């Protein structure tokens, strides 16, 4: 159960991140995001270690990740740091995969996050951390790394979205 509380705490941290970005408190946003990213790893680790994996956790954990990552991508698009079309593709993939998970649940199947989705989330979070560091500390020297991270995030988003569609194609036929 502790893992689910940590996941819920990540949602609270998302509010802190967004409020901090909106108030131009970029250092606070950076540290809150770091804490949220660590909580993403910690909740999964504890759920496995304490044998507390649950259907609720399998649903909440990726949802909390999506809310955190999408909130920052939207804000970065608002600031002109990420092209809007990239944010829209990332949002579309997240909504599509959430829909696939809902369809799976309606058929009695719980779809946990796949490795490609975990890699995508990791790269997205690292990329957003680079962007937050850039904002917080005015480090334009990181802009190339941030841009590469955006493109890598986009590629992994497309790959993992396609992968989820491919492995769930049988469910679409049943629906």
Check which CATH number belongs to the domain holding 55 and give it.
1.20.120.1760
Domain range for residue 113?
A: 2-174
Q: What is the pLDDT of residue 90?
A: 98
Q: What is the pLDDT of residue 114?
A: 83
Q: What is the pLDDT of residue 96?
A: 94
Reported as a pLDDT band with limits 50, 70 and 90, residue 120 is: very high
pLDDT at 6 over 90: yes
Q: What is the pLDDT of residue 169?
A: 86
Average confidence (pLDDT) over 91-109 = 88
Q: 């790394």: which residue's tokens?
A: 145
pLDDT at 133 over 80: yes
pLDDT at 105 over 90: no
Q: What is the pLDDT of residue 44?
A: 87
Q: 């990181």: which residue's tokens?
A: 142
CA 103 to chain centre: 20
Number of domains the chain is built from: 1
Q: What is the pLDDT of residue 175?
A: 64
Reported as a pLDDT band with limits 50, 70 and 90, residue 174 is: confident
Query: Residue 168 to residues 62, 66, 100, 121, 129: CA-CA distances in angstroms?
Result: 17, 20, 7, 20, 32
């Amino acid at each position: 159960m502790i893992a689910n509380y940590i996941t819920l705490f990540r949602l609270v941290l998302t509010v802190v991140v967004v409020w901090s970005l909106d108030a131009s408190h970029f250092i606070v946003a950076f540290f809150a995001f770091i804490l949220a990213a660590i909580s993403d790893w910690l909740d999964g680790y504890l759920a496995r270690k304490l044998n507390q994996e649950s259907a609720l956790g399998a649903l909440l954990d990726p949802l909390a990740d999506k809310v955190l990552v999408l909130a920052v991508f939207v804000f970065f698009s608002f600031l002109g740091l990420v092209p809007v079309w990239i944010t829209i593709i990332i949002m579309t993939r997240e909504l599509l995969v959430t829909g696939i998970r809902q369809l799976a649940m309606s058929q009695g199947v719980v779809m946990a996050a796949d490795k490609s989705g975990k890699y995508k989330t990791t790269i997205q979070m690292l990329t957003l951390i680079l962007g937050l560091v850039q904002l917080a500390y005015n480090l334009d020297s990181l802009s190339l790394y941030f841009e590469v991270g955006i493109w890598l995030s986009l590629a992994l988003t497309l790959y993992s979205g396609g992968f989820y569609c491919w492995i769930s194609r049988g469910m679409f036929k049943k629906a």
